[in-house]
């Protein structure tokens, strides 16, 4: 990995760096306090320029480009991302505190999303209707929605922008992107990468800044045609309300409280590995976190013991140190929230099997893997998204019970089941309320497959063919090549189709 030094960033507007007008924001590594990046908050004037630039570029440069032209830019962007992977991985790691190897894998996976979107730019099609009569033909055309406001969270910054932006560009949209103020660097670097890839100036504009000011201004801007938001359910609801006022299309990827079900007949070694990875990846700060582990009673005690033994060995700390898999908690607010939930779990009567320990040291805030057993469905630790390295274990006897427990949530992002029984797996597929159901695997996500949630986990889908279609609207075209029958002139008034 390239170890870059701290860097001053600016907004990326019309193909060039441009200083925003707001206060300076400093970003420090949450694991050790080292300065990583600095940039200015964007003001209304900055957001206005970004949206106006995108609007013009949409009209004059990008909406009329051919699929082949868009595809070529996206494919070159994928290559440019791979060429700059070391630098991107450094900033991804340093701003979020995640392990370097994980950051590197996320950048590689992101480049594949750009590759895939390149193929889709040439494959976007509508429907045709050839059965309406000899002289009557109709078709639907998919047209880009216009300028998309893309707002992303801090936890997988480059991966999440790569789940949205290449798909918007493949559809022919222009964009104004606002990354999280906690992890803005890699998204800002995309500006340079897209220019290198030959994207016309102004098609993508990136504004850095806080959610309450810059993000909110962007949501409300009348020049925005679509809002594509990933983040908390609370802010997602706000985006939807604001979007309704402007009658904008809104696509939301929000929180989760995902259940992993382990049946007694499963490959328990694989289930154990997936349960650990699903629970503690990114120190549990993941929308897809398997935060509810549902165990069949006959294996619950033994599985819990092994889960706890392995979790106890996971190294926690500043990810600059060797072998650390769980990095810091992103900020003070989130650290305090997680600690509160540890107390809530104990007060509610759950059994603390592991962890519950936390510390501030050398400029970072860390929470050890924490496992609660004997969790009951009414407890807050079974219902609310904690967004930290905390797992709630619940027990069940039958598959029906497991499905009711899994579905007893306001969220519906993803769910998993481990079983050797095909019919149990199929019952789970049909019955689980979730946008993604994993059977005997967890957290896989190839670029071909759509991703999104139901319930309070969101609205809309991203990635895959649907990921491009999300950024389009349908125009219906009707053509008569003769045989038009007059309805008013020289015809009987009052015909049913008048």
Beta bridge partners of 251: 228
Active-site pick, 95, 462, 469, 470 = 462
CB 67, min distance to ligand NAD, A: 27
How far, in Å, CA of 96 to CA of 212, rounded?
20
Taking the complex as a whole, the smallest distance from the CB of residue 118 to ligand NAD amounts, in Å, to 22
Considering the complex, what minimum distance in angstroms separates the CB of residue 283 from ligand NAD?
Answer: 13
CB nearer to ligand NAD: give 200 or 458.
458
Burial pattern 152-189, b for ≥16 Cβ within 10 A else e, equals bbbbbbbbbbbbbbbbbbbbbbbbbbbbbbbbbbbbbb
Is 164 annotated as catalytic? yes
Nearest to 392 by CA among 302, 453, 282, 304: 304
Beta-bridge partner residues of 25: 39
Residue of 16, 288, 329, 283 lying closest to 163 (CA atoms): 288
Which residues are paired to 197 by β-bridges?
A: none
Q: Is the Cβ of residue 356 or residue 452 nearer to ligand NAD in the bound state?
A: 452
Give the nearer residue to ligand NAD in terms of CB position, either 234 or 495: 234
Active-site annotation holder among 92, 181, 253, 469:
253
Minimum distance, C-beta of residue 186 to ligand NAD, in the bound complex (Å): 13
**Structural tokens at position 238:** 């706000």
H or E element, residue 27: strand 24-28
d(CA 5, CA 120) in angstroms, rounded, equals 37
Task: Give the three-class secondary structure for 227.
Answer: strand
Q: How far is the CB of 153 from ligand NAD (least distance, A)?
A: 3
CA angle centred on 316, ends 313 and 322, rounded to 5°:
90
Q: Whole-number minimum distance, CB 254 to ligand NAD, in Å?
A: 5
Strands (E), 302-389: 351-354, 358-361, 364-367, 370-373
Burial of 306 (0-12, 13-18, 19+ CB in 10 A): middle
Residue 35 CB, nearest approach to ligand NAD (Å): 20
| Cα–Cα distance measured from residue 117 to residue 464, given in angstroms and rounded to the nearest whole number | 8
Of residues 59 and 241, the one with the C-beta less far from ligand NAD: 241
- Between residues 178 and 365, which has the closer beta carbon with respect to ligand NAD? 178
Tokens of 391: 């797992």
**Position with the least CB separation from ligand NAD:** 211
Which one, 31 or 256, has the nearer CB to ligand NAD? 256
Torsion sign across C-alpha atoms 148, 171, 287, 398:
positive
List interacting residues with ligand NAD (CB under 6 A). Answer: 151-156, 160, 178, 180-181, 210-212, 215-216, 219, 230-232, 235, 238, 253-256, 287, 385, 387, 413, 453, 458
Catalytic residue among 287, 385, 395, 469: 287
156 or 442: CB nearest ligand NAD: 156
The yes-or-no answer on residue 462 being catalytic is yes
The answer to whether residue 108 is catalytic is no
DSSP string, 258-325: -EEEE-TTS-HHHHHHHHHHHHHGGGG--TT---EEEEEHHHHHHHHHHHHHHHHHS-BS-TTSTT--
Please identify every residue annotated as catalytic: 164, 253, 287, 462
């Amino acid at each position: 990995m390239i170890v870059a030094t701290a860097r001053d960033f600016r907004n990326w507007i019309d193909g060039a760096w441009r200083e925003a007008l707001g206060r300076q924001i400093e970003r420090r590594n949450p694991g050790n306090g080292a300065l990583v990046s600095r940039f200015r908050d964007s003001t209304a004037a900055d957001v206005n320029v970004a949206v106006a630039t995108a609007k013009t570029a949409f009209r004059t440069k990008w909406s009329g480009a051919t699929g082949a032209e868009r595809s070529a830019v996206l494919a070159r962007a994928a290559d440019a991302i791979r060429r700059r992977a070391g630098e991107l991985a450094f900033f991804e790691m340093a701003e979020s505190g995640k392990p370097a190897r994980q950051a590197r894998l996320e950048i590689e996976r992101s480049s594949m999303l750009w590759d895939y979107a390149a193929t889709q730019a040439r494959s976007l099609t509508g429907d045709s209707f050839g059965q309406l009569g000899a002289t009557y033909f109709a078709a639907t055309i998919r047209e880009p929605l216009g300028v998309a406001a893309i707002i992303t969270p801090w936890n997988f910054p480059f991966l999440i922008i790569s789940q949205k932006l290449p798909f918007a560009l493949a559809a022919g949209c222009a964009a104004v992107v606002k990354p999280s103020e906690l992890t803005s660097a890699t998204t800002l670097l995309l500006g340079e990468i897209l220019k290198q890839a030959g994207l016309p100036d102004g098609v993508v504009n990136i504004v850095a800044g806080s959610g309450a000011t810059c993000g909110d201004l962007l949501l409300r801007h009348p020049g925005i045609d679509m809002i594509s938001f990933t983040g908390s359910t609370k802010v997602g609801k706000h985006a939807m309300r604001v979007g309704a006022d402007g009658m904008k299309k809104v696509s939301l990827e929000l929180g989760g409280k995902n259940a992993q079900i382990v049946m007694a007949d499963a490959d328990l070694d694989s289930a154990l590995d997936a349960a650990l990875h699903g629970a503690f990846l990114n120190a549990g700060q993941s929308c897809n976190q398997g935060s509810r582990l549902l165990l069949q009673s006959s294996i619950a005690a033994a599985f819990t013991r092994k889960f706890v033994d392995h979790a106890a060995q996971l190294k926690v700390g500043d990810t600059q140190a060797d072998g650390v898999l769980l990095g810091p908690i992103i900020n003070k607010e989130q650290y305090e929230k997680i600690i509160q939930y540890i107390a809530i779990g104990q007060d509610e009567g759950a059994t603390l099997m592991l962890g519950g320990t936390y510390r501030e040291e050398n400029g970072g805030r860390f929470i050890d893997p924490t496992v609660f057993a004997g969790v009951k469905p009414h407890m807050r630790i079974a219902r609310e998204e904690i967004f930290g390295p905390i797992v709630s274990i619940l027990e069940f006897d039958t598959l029906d019970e497991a499905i009711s427990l899994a579905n007893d949530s306001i969220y519906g992002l993803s769910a998993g089941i481990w079983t050797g029984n095909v019919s149990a797996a199929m019952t789970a597929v049909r019955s689980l309320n979730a946008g993604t159901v994993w059977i005997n695997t967890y957290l896989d996500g190839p670029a071909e497959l759509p991703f999104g949630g139901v319930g309070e986990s969101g609205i809309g889908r991203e990635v895959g063919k649907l990921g491009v279609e999300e950024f389009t609207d349908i125009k219906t075209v009707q053509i008569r090549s003769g045989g038009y029958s007059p309805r008013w002139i020289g015809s009987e008034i009052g015909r049913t189709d008048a």
